[in-house]
Amino acid sequence: MDFLTVTNVHHTYFSKEAATEALQNINLTINKGEFVSFIGPSGCGKTTLLSIIAGLFQPTSGTVKIENQAVYGNSDLSIGYMLQQDYLFPWKTIEENITLGLKLLKEDNQNFSKVTSDLLHDVGLPPIGEKYPRELSGGMRQRVALARTLAVDPKILLLDEPFSALDYQSKLKLEDLVANKLKEYGKTAVLVTHDLGEAIAMSDRIFLFSPRPGKLHQIFEVPEDLRQLTPFDVRSHSSYSPLFQIIWKELENLEQS
Amino acid sequence: MNNHKLHEQFKQSLIKEKRWVRFYQLLISIAFFSLWEIASRSKWIDQLIFSSPSKIYTLLVENVVDGTIFVHIGYTVFETVLGFIIGTLLGTILAAILWWSPFLSKVLDPYLVILNAMPKVALGPILIVAMGPGMNSIITMGAIISVIISTIVIYTSFKNVDGNYLKVMQTFNASRFQMFKEAILPASFPTIISTLKVNVGLSWVGVIVGEFLVSSKGLGYLIIYGFQVFNFNLVLMSLLIIAIFATIMYQLVELLEKRLIKSE
């Protein structure tokens, strides 16, 4: 069943100097519970597409629907969006940060400290609800950001390079954690990344985009035996390298043309 | 030598340095006042104009004993505090309105620049005629002098809040008011506090000038009165009191800063 459908999406950025076509005729569908990655050279519009799916702005033309509901301006639809940096509010405690979404969506009939400690436990953190973000390391903060995103029980998770600002060790650990949590909750997710290895390690399908204007170039299926593994184990599996080589070559071709 | 000992030594050296700083600070003020006193007594400077610390002190004690000075201090401090609070509050509210409506902010931009460039104290005579020669017009002076610059500075800070915080808010379907309350305003607290610090000084200027013009009560009135009767002991004494209270207000704002910005 199609969970997310993107139909004929075009997007153009207008400025005084020029009109830049960022996305051209994008059509794609994502199934429920699927994990897909958007990759491609810079300027291929993958982040723009993610923002449009998130309903942050409307595309110049075309539609994005989740379970047949339009995403833009739909306040019933909850979407989880994780950015490159954690963007935890420094003046709020960890608990206030995690429950921010619940508060804004007026679901404040719940016991916030219970919700917080459960979520913190879920993302592998000790009960640190009273602390402030500055007291935590980068990896812990990104875990808190994940907890904040999961708190509102979003229909879909949109990940905009959430691991790229972390050190390698934290990055690998967090990839495993996110993959586990999403599988556990049966969530659909879209990851935008520059890191081809990460895309293979985490996804079921990989969408490769070509730049200027952004177009969907090719879709790669990740083999079934890789999908079963955690991102960490995928990297050492025998099918990993061949797939990496294939997509790498395509990427190289795109960048040369 | 173990670490503990080294740490003790380090703490000792910090204390020692602090003592020297205090010593030189004290030395400067003692030197300043002694030199002033000596210069005045030896007639190196004109006693009539520059007075002397001992004369100012005697006058101050007289005024404290008969209690007259407290009325003036009370008036001026009250006007300044009120002018300062109104100016900053109004500036923040105006900045919020500008943030709310980008179109309005574009329309009003040149007017803000003009109003900011204009010397507000020049409005004094008009205010006094319009609002009467009393406390109201003086408080208005204290407020008006800081309101426009507060608006500009705080609005700039509102605009510069990292858009990604708003993105986070937007994914939670936050309204514009919620964005303002949860993200924009708290993110700008450090800027608002630093405008408070600037406004402390500005409000004193507004209020003193107001009192110059109205000339009925307050420290500004004492200065202008002292000048008219050529009593510079009175002028300098008032100046000294203003310096003390302006410093106290500034320190209070710093205290507020420490309270308010815990997370920095």
The per-residue pLDDT for range A41-54, each reduced to its tens digit, is 877 888 888 888 88
Nearest-angstrom CA–CA distance, B116 and B104: 17
> What are the angstrom distances between the C-alpha of B228 and each of B215, B223, B225, B241, B247?
11, 9, 5, 19, 27
Q: How distant is the Cα of A92 from the closest Cα of chain B, in angstroms?
A: 8
Q: How distant is the Cα of A51 from the closest Cα of chain B, in angstroms?
A: 9
Out of A83, A101, A104, closest to residue B167 by CB: A83
Architecture of domain A1-77+188-257: 3-Layer(aba) Sandwich (3.40)
Per-residue pLDDT tens digits for B181-195: 888 988 888 888 888
SS3 A41: coil
Out of B172, B189, B261, closest to residue A104 by CB: B172
SS3 A223: coil
Residue of B nearest to A71 (CA): B171
Q: Which residues of A touch B168 (CB under 8 A)?
A: 81, 83, 87, 100
Q: With cut-offs at 50, 70 and 90, classify the pLDDT of residue B263.
A: very low
Strand pairing partners for A158?
Answer: A81, A190
Please check the confidence at residue A102 and state whether its pLDDT lies above 90. no
For chain A, how many residues are written?
257
Tokens of B224: 């202008």
Interface residues on B facing A, Cβ-Cβ cutoff 8 A: 162, 164-165, 167-174, 178, 182-183, 186-187, 189, 261-264
Cβ separation A89–B162 shorter than 8 A: no
Any CB–CB contact under 8 A between A79 and chain B?
Answer: yes
Any CB–CB contact under 8 A between A72 and chain B?
Answer: no
How is chain B split into domains, by residue range? 1-39, 56-260
How high is the ipTM of this complex?
0.80
Nearest-angstrom CA–CA distance, B32 and B244: 17
Taking one residue from A and the other from B, the number of pairs with CB-CB distance under 8 angstroms is 53
Out of A83, A91, A101, closest to residue B172 by CB: A101
Cβ separation B167–A78 shorter than 8 A: no
* Radius of gyration from C-alpha coordinates of chain B: 24
Please check the confidence at residue B26 and state whether its pLDDT lies above 90. yes
Please check the confidence at residue A110 and state whether its pLDDT lies above 80. no
Tell me the percentage of chain A whose pLDDT exceeds 70. Answer: 97
A 10 A CB-CB count for A109 gives 6
Nearest-angstrom CA–CA distance, B245 and B228: 24
| DSSP code for A215 | E
Please check the confidence at residue A130 and state whether its pLDDT lies above 50. yes
Nearest-angstrom CA–CA distance, A42 and A161: 13
pLDDT (0 to 100) of residue A257: 63
The DSSP secondary structure of A94-138, one letter per residue, reads: HHHHHTHHHHHTT-TTS-HHHHHHHHHHHTT--S-TTS-GGGS-H
Residue of B nearest to A135 (CA): B263
- Lateral strand order in the sheet of A69-70: A19-31, A2-14, A61-66, A69-70
Q: With cut-offs at 50, 70 and 90, classify the pLDDT of residue A203.
A: confident
Per-residue pLDDT tens digits for B71-112: 999 999 999 999 999 999 999 999 999 999 989 999 999 999
At residue B196, what is the residue type? L
Please check the confidence at residue B2 and state whether its pLDDT lies above 90. no
pLDDT (0 to 100) of residue B99: 92
Q: How distant is the Cα of A168 from the closest Cα of chain B, in angstroms?
A: 24
Per-residue pLDDT tens digits for A150-190: 888 888 888 888 887 778 888 888 888 888 888 887 888 88
List the single best residue of A47, A83, A89, A192 to mutate versus B (max B Cβ within 10 A). A89
Summary mean pLDDT of chain A: 81
Per-residue pLDDT tens digits for B129-188: 888 888 889 999 989 998 999 999 999 999 998 888 888 888 887 788 888 888 898 888
Q: Which residue has the higher pLDDT, B206 or A240?
A: B206
Strand pairing partners for A29?
Answer: A5
How is chain A split into domains, by residue range? 1-77+188-257
A 10 A CB-CB count for B215 gives 15
Cβ separation B173–A105 shorter than 8 A: yes
| DSSP code for A35 | E
Out of B171, B178, B261, closest to residue A54 by CB: B171
CATH 3.40.50.2300 for domain B56-260: no
Residue B157, classified by CB atoms within 10 Å of its CB into exposed (0-12), middle (13-18) or buried (19+), is buried
SS3 A5: strand
Q: With cut-offs at 50, 70 and 90, classify the pLDDT of residue A109.
A: low
A54: Cα within 13 Å, side-chain hemisphere: 27
Nearest-angstrom CA–CA distance, B12 and A190: 58
Out of A75, A104, A134, closest to residue B178 by CB: A104
